Chains A and B, each alone.
Chain A
Amino acid sequence: AQSVAQPEDQVNVAEGNPLTVKCTYSVSGNPYLFWYVQYPNRGLQFLLKYITGDNLVKGSYGFEAEFNKSQTSFHLKKPSALVSDSALYFCAVRDSNAGGFKTIFGAGTRLFVKA
């Protein structure tokens, strides 16, 4: 069965410091991996995805994520956090071998960036 784990309910970081939001996954086949962000009273917005190719993917707003197959991880990173990055972040996975579009999400990690 597919699953996603976001081990931290909240991540606190000072503005200007690097940030990491962790995600590990489990699928039986090859994963399609996604990060979404949710701002208050808004729907989820797509940040970046890994489908195939280079393990380091770059996305919106300066975010990037690294696919690590051996550790089944897809951690979200940013070199220098902004206060405006404070939001709820969701990691998600699809099993590319399952033939469908069913997406499994994690429980979310709240990022708080302090000025």
Chain B
Amino acid sequence: EAGVTQFPSHSVIEKGQTVTLRCDPISGHDNLYWYRRVMGKEIKFLLHFVKESKQDESGMPNNRFLAERTGGTYSTLKVQPAELEDSGVYFCASSLLGLAGGEQYFGPGTRLTVT
């Protein structure tokens, strides 16, 4: 079974540019989450999808961030325009529907550097 995949693995962009990160969850996982870790700090929750619907986007920093999950399969996270403080590692995770106590399966992350 394929795990959670993320693309790209690394991205270096200049301040003001746009970047789109992609996440492909494990097939059949209706829950999809985005997280971000800034160097040495905690992994911060950004948002949670159930299928194509946003269930909780309380962690999204501001309106420069836009997440979508069309068709309830893969998800994209767009940052436009990027700022220096957006640098960090963005993780995607997925889990089975209906299991609040269930563990999440994480992708390897996308390391975003904004210069």
Contact = CB atoms under 8 A, between A and B. Distances in A.
B42 A42 contact: no
A72 interface: no
Contacts of A104: 42, 45
Given A34-B103, A100-B55, A107-B40, A43 B33 contact: no
B41 A107 contact: yes
Interface residues of A, number: 25
A105 B42 contact: yes
Q: How large is the interface on B (under 10, 10 to 19, 20 to 34, 35 or more residues)?
A: 20 to 34
B101 A51 contact: yes
Nearest to A99: B100
B105 interface: yes
B28 to A, nearest CB: 16
B42 A106 contact: yes
Contact of B108 (A32, A43, A46, A107): A43
A100 B4 contact: no
Contacts of B55: 100-101
A70 B72 CA distance: 41
Contacts of B42: 4, 104-108
A90 interface: yes
Given A43-B106, A101-B55, A101-B100, 12 more contacts: A32-B100, A34-B103, A43-B4, A43-B105, A43-B109, A46-B104, A46-B105, A94-B100, A103-B104, A104-B42, A106-B42, A107-B40
Top-5 shortest CB links A-B: A43-B106, A105-B43, A46-B103, A44-B106, A51-B101
